[in-house]
Amino acid sequence: MSAGELGCTYAALLLHNDGIPITAEKISTVLKAANLSVESYWPVLFAKLCQNRNVDDLILNVGAGGGTAVVAAAAAAPTAAAAAPAAEEKKEEEDGGIDDDLMINLFD
């Protein structure tokens, strides 16, 4: 990520956090106050991005990438590989396994 991208990202987040509408002029003002010089197209691009998207959604979904690669990998997987985990689960159930009431689920 370039310094221009990073500076505009922080400027846009700062403006959004303060409830100020995100415009290219205001991003440039924040960058100038931070004594950071960037190419003139970065503030314009970030302002257009923030106008077309909900910034809260962008913040909350920052780590939710990889949608197309995951779908392609799942589509390419053979059906026999999908049946194998089901057979393992059935075997564990027959063995008795560990009582579910005693298990702690860290992901709930």
pLDDT digits 0-9 by tens, 91-100: 555 555 555 5
User: How far is the C-alpha of 71 from the C-alpha of 78, rounded, in Å?
Assistant: 13
Q: What is the pLDDT of residue 99?
A: 56
State residue 29's pLDDT score: 94
CA distances from 64 to 10, 58, 59, 67, 68 (A): 20, 10, 10, 8, 11
Range from 6-10, 26-30, 64-68 carrying the lowest mean pLDDT? 64-68
Query: What domains, with CATH codes, occur in the chain?
Result: 3-58 (1.10.10.1410)
CB 55 within 8 A of CB 16: yes
Across the range 3-26, mean pLDDT stands at 92
Give 18 or 67, the one with higher predicted confidence.
Answer: 18
Write the pLDDT tens digit of every residue in 26-45.
999 999 999 999 999 999 99
Q: How high is the pLDDT of residue 102?
A: 57
- Residue 79 pLDDT: 46
